[in-house]
């Protein structure tokens, strides 16, 4: 009898276990949502390498161009442009009070002043669409309104005075003037549209600013102005390009650019001692090292300039207080921006190559699509400009070659208005700062307005 009872109990348990397994099978024990995404990436990468066209001369040439463009960017822009911009952005985040940014550039600030300052502030900055990003991220994170921040983001690389003058001299006064006027007007209109489209968020930000207490400041406004101006001048003169004309004021400044840069670096060192409690011996040792390297390598200015950056990092990280926060803030921007920029430059080089060279997309295709002044030609020029990477001033010789190959005046202006302000690396970083929705709207606005402006200009100037 006991054996019969045991058999019945075991049978009952087996049936219950089987029922439990059946229920689990019905609900599925596999988390497919967590599997499909990595599995899709693995399959995609596998298929890319499986069908990699390594026997194609165009593909292998594009890969070389991609690496060459990234090398050129690293040599010409990271040390001289991007790193100083990252330090400036970090300083904005630490030394400029959020209340002050909200007051002058915030969502509730006076529109005339906020947009006026933002739209012309880039006229002295000889920066490209990538170098402007840390500065934009700095003022945005300190509370600047979306409209003024976008106006600054667009106008910064589009309206620098060197690019405007070079455009007028090489491509003609009409297109140079149109570029200058268009850049200012564009930045304001695009900023206002962005403010209107996201007005609920901007209203909330403005209301928050009204209740924001006045923050305590370490030093008066005039000291901050001098401090930031000194760093901006280091950036400007370190990146001062060699003009095509070997005479004139621009070339005279270029011939002594490193002397001027060194002068402002000395001023920065004095400010660090007097206002930021950095020990004088640290500034002195860094200065001696930079001077010695400049004398040893007179034709390799990147060496002493890099030593200066290393010295600055050493000084501000070994001085307790706000200078440590300055470094940490700059480092946060570096982690956010640098990887995306290099990824974008690699892809841009692969697709479009360097100036004078070709990637996967043939320059002949581009030239054939931007002739005349049709809607399609202007739109294509705007789109091509938006995704291409233009270093400061390089857009002018590129356009000169395209115009010589049959590009219309309207598409030329469209590319000038879209190109310097946008690029694939630039888009990736903007998305990390603003999010996908705002970035998409910004790109669309730039492309549309550049297209319309190109058609209008091309109608009057052929």
pLDDT tens sequence across 5-58:
555 555 554 545 555 545 445 555 666 667 787 888 889 888 888 888 888 888
In a domain, 388, yes or no: yes
- In the 8-state DSSP scheme, what is residue 215? P
Sequence-distant (≥ 6) Cβ neighbours of residue 53 within 8 angstroms:
59
The whole domain housing 365 covers: 351-460
Q: pLDDT tier at 438 (50, 70, 90 boundaries)?
A: very high
In a domain, 440, yes or no: yes
Task: Please state at what angle helix 199-210 crosses helix 173-197, rounded to 10 degrees.
Answer: 70
In a domain, 424, yes or no: yes
As a 3-state breakdown, the chain gives helix, strand, coil percent values, each rounded to 5, of 80, 0, 20
In a domain, 450, yes or no: yes
Q: Please write the tens of the pLDDT for every residue from 84-104.
A: 888 887 887 788 766 666 667
Q: What is the mean pLDDT of the chain?
A: 80
Q: How many Å from the N-terminal Cα to the C-terminal Cα in the chain?
A: 107
What secondary structure does DSSP assign to 52-90, as a single string? --TT-HHHHHHHHHHHHHHHHHIIIIIIIIIHHHHHHHH
In a domain, 441, yes or no: yes
> How big is the CA angle at 64 (ends 60 and 65), to the nearest 5 degrees?
115
The kind and range of the H/E element at 301 are none
In a domain, 408, yes or no: yes
Residue 350 clears pLDDT 70, i.e. is over it: yes
Q: Please write the tens of the pLDDT for every residue from 370-404.
A: 777 888 889 988 998 888 776 656 677 677 667 76
Highest mean pLDDT among 237-246, 306-315, 316-325, 349-358: 306-315
Q: pLDDT tier at 260 (50, 70, 90 boundaries)?
A: very high
Highest mean pLDDT among 130-139, 266-275, 429-438: 266-275
Asked whether the beta carbons of 147 and 195 are under 8 A apart, the reply is yes
In the chain, the number of structural domains is 1
In a domain, 432, yes or no: yes
> How big is the CA angle at 442 (ends 210 and 326), to the nearest 5 degrees?
55
Q: pLDDT tier at 283 (50, 70, 90 boundaries)?
A: very high
Residue 230 clears pLDDT 60, i.e. is over it: yes
Of 418, 365, 390, 364, nearest in space to 69 by CA: 390
In a domain, 371, yes or no: yes
């Amino acid at each position: 009898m006991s054996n019969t009872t045991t058999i019945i109990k075991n049978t009952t348990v087996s049936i219950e276990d089987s029922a439990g397994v059946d229920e689990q099978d019905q609900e599925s024990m596999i988390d497919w949502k967590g599997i499909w995404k990595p599995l899709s990436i693995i399959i995609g990468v596998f298929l890319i390498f499986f069908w990699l066209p390594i026997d194609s001369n165009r593909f292998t040439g594009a890969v070389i161009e991609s690496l060459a463009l990234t090398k050129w960017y690293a040599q010409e822009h990271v040390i001289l442009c991007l790193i100083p911009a990252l330090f400036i952005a970090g300083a904005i985040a630490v030394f400029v009070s959020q209340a002050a940014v909200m007051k002058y550039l915030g969502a509730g600030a006076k529109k005339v002043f906020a947009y006026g300052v933002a739209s012309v502030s880039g006229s002295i900055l000889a920066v490209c669409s990538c170098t402007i990003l840390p500065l934009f991220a700095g003022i945005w994170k300190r509370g600047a309104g979306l409209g003024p921040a976008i106006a600054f983001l667009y106008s910064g690389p589009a309206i620098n005075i060197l690019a405007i003058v070079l455009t007028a001299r090489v491509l003609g006064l009409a297109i140079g003037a149109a570029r200058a006027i268009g850049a200012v007007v564009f930045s304001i209109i695009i900023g206002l549209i962005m403010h209107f489209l996201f007005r609920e968020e901007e209203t909330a930000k403005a209301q928050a600013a009204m209740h924001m207490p006045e923050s305590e400041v370490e030093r008066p406004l005039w000291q901050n102005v001098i401090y930031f101006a000194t760093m901006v001048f280091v950036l400007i003169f370190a990146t001062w390009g060699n003009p095509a004309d070997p005479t004139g004021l621009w070339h005279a400044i270029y011939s002594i650019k490193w002397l001027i840069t060194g002068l402002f670096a000395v001023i920065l060192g004095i400010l660090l001692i007097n206002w930021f409690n950095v020990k004088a011996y640290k500034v002195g040792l860094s200065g001696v090292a930079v001077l010695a390297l400049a004398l040893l390598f007179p034709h390799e200015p990147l060496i002493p300039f890099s030593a200066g950056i290393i010295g600055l990092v050493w000084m501000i990280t070994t001085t307790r207080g706000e200078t440590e926060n300055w470094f940490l803030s700059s480092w946060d921007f570096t982690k956010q921006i640098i990887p995306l920029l290099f990824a974008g430059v690699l892809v841009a080089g692969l697709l479009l190559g360097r100036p004078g060279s070709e990637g996967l997309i043939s320059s002949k295709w581009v030239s054939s699509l931007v002739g005349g002044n049709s809607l399609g030609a202007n739109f294509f020029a705007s789109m091509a400009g938006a995704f291409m990477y233009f270093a400061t001033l390089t857009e002018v010789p590129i356009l000169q070659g395209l115009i010589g190959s049959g590009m219309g005046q309207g598409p030329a202006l469209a590319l000038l208005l879209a190109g310097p302000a946008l690029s694939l690396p630039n888009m990736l970083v903007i998305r990390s700062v603003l999010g996908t929705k705002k970035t998409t709207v910004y790109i669309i606005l730039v492309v549309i307005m550049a297209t319309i402006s190109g058609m209008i200009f091309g109608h009057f100037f052929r």
